[in-house]
Amino acid sequence: AQSVTQPDIHITVSEGASLELRCNYSYGATPYLFWYVQSPGQGLQLLLKYFSGDTLVQGIKGFEAEFKRSQSSFNLRKPSVHWSDAAEYFCAVGLNTGGFKTIFGAGTRLFVKA
Amino acid sequence: KAGVTQTPRYLIKTRGQQVTLSCSPISGHRSVSWYQQTPGQGLQFLFEYFSETQRNKGNFPGRFSGRQFSNSRSEMNVSTLELGDSALYLCASSLVGQEETQYFGPGTRLLVL
């Protein structure tokens, strides 16, 4: 069965420090891969997506992610975190099976220390 | 362009009642998906509609149903509500041929007492 694992339930980072959020997926082929962000009381906002091509993907808000097929990973990174980045981050797998379906990881809550 | 709108934003129901939630997609978007978000189960796919047809369905009991109208607006219905149905219900819309790029609404927060 397809699955997405985010091993870190929460992470605390100092403002200005770098960030890496981990994500591993389980699927037979390379699916669509996504990172979404959700601020309190808000819906989900797409940060970036990957399906093919360059394995380093640039997204909005200064985020990037790297796809590593050998590790089935799609980790999210940001070189310098801002206090406004505090939110919950979801890694997701998208599957096109005659209709589209997205499977989400459990999420990682990011706390930013001043 | 207006984003995805969901109504109502907040709702309180009691066990055994039924509820209908509404989603209006972004203009021109014809694919609509629904998700349930709970602290215990996280974000789970409910179903996806396109051209008034359900194309994909998640692992939810038959109490959860949905439909899509000719103007692409969608509703989901939950009958015989249970306490565990308390959740944030998110709707997302996308363009034909770009279903992987989903735009999410703010959600409807349902509390079942």
The confidence score (pLDDT) of residue B7 equals: 97
The average pLDDT across A13-19 equals 97
How far, in whole angstroms, is CA A99 from its chain's centroid?
A: 22
B36: number of Cβ within 10 Å: 22
Among partner residues B45, B55, B106, which is closest to A42 by beta-carbon distance?
B106
Q: Which residue of B has its CA nearest to A93?
A: B100
Contacts of B107 in chain A (CB under 8 A): 43
The confidence score (pLDDT) of residue B23 equals: 98
Using 50, 70 and 90 to split pLDDT, how confident is the model at B27? very high
> What average pLDDT does the structure give for chain B?
95
Segment A61-82, tens digit of pLDDT: 999 999 999 999 999 999 999 9
From the CA of A97, how many Å to the nearest CA of chain B? 8
Q: Which residue of A has its CA nearest to B56?
A: A99
From the CA of A112, how many Å to the nearest CA of chain B? 21
The confidence score (pLDDT) of residue B24 equals: 98
Predicted confidence (pLDDT) at residue A100 exceeds the cutoff of 90: no
The confidence score (pLDDT) of residue A42 equals: 80
- Chain-chain contact of B56 with A103 (C-beta, under 8 angstroms): no
Q: Which of B45, B46, B38, B26 is nearest to B104 (CA)?
A: B26
Predicted confidence (pLDDT) at residue B1 exceeds the cutoff of 80: no
- CA distance to A105, B69, B72, per residue, from A62 (Å): 22, 38, 34
Segment A34-64, tens digit of pLDDT: 999 999 878 899 999 998 888 999 999 999 9
